[in-house]
């Protein structure tokens, strides 16, 4: 369950990201990391209580995205870093060895859709909201379990 596919690649990419400000060295704060994971879980639980329709699809999509991103932030926190952008937060999630690993390929598209929503006034469709909800249902819990297990070992 390495953060990036190989140690050499990991170090090279992390060094570049630190140099460019995409990552900052940060002292591990286990309580903060736990709070981030808990926040993501609670936010999703609240958002899932909202009836999905054309008016709520964008809100649901954006909030689920933010919860997914928080899981990436938590992973970086465990590794002793703080991400400076969404790319780093989402990229680290692609390295999780989960049952439905192929679903991690959707993360770049989610990031682009969220960018379009926030900066171009784009509205998401019901099917886009359903897709990110499905991603959370199939991957979110497993990622959280892995993160919590990693925290136990710290």
| pLDDT at site 13 | 87
| pLDDT at site 11 | 82
| pLDDT at site 147 | 97
| pLDDT at site 153 | 83
For 101-129, the DSSP string reads GGGGGGHHHHHHHHHHHHHH-----HHHH
| pLDDT at site 86 | 87
The dihedral of CA 45, 47, 49, 52: what is its sign? negative
User: If we measure between CA atoms, which residue out of 28, 32, 8, 12 comes closest to residue 20?
Assistant: 12
User: If we measure between CA atoms, which residue out of 87, 72, 85, 50 comes closest to residue 139?
Assistant: 72
As a whole number of angstroms, the longest Cα–Cα distance in the chain is 46
7-152: CATH topology is 1.20.120
Q: Name the DSSP letter for residue 102.
A: G
Which strand (E) or helix (H) includes residue 23?
strand 23-25
Tokens standing for 32?
């903060």
| pLDDT at site 132 | 98
Per-residue pLDDT of the chain (154 residues; tens, 9 = 90+): 344 544 544 788 889 999 999 999 999 999 999 999 999 999 999 999 999 999 999 999 999 999 999 999 999 999 999 998 888 999 999 989 999 999 999 999 999 999 999 999 999 999 999 999 999 999 999 999 999 999 998 6
Tokens standing for 53?
């329709």
């Amino acid at each position: 369950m390495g953060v990036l596919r190989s140690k050499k690649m990991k170090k090279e990419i992390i060094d570049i990201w630190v140099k460019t400000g995409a990552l900052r060295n940060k002292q591990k704060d286990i309580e903060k990391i736990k709070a981030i994971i808990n926040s993501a879980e609670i936010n999703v639980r609240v958002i899932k209580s909202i009836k999905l329709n054309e008016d709520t699809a964008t809100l649901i999509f954006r909030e689920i995205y933010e919860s997914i991103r928080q899981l990436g932030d938590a992973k970086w926190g465990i590794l002793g870093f703080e991400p400076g952008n969404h790319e780093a937060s989402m990229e680290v999630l692609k390295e999780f060895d989960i049952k439905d690993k192929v679903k991690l390929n959707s993360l770049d598209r989610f990031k682009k859709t969220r960018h379009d929503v926030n900066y171009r006034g784009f509205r998401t469709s019901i099917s886009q909201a359903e897709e990110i909800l499905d991603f959370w249902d199939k991957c979110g819990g497993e990622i959280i379990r892995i993160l919590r297990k990693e925290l136990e070992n710290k």
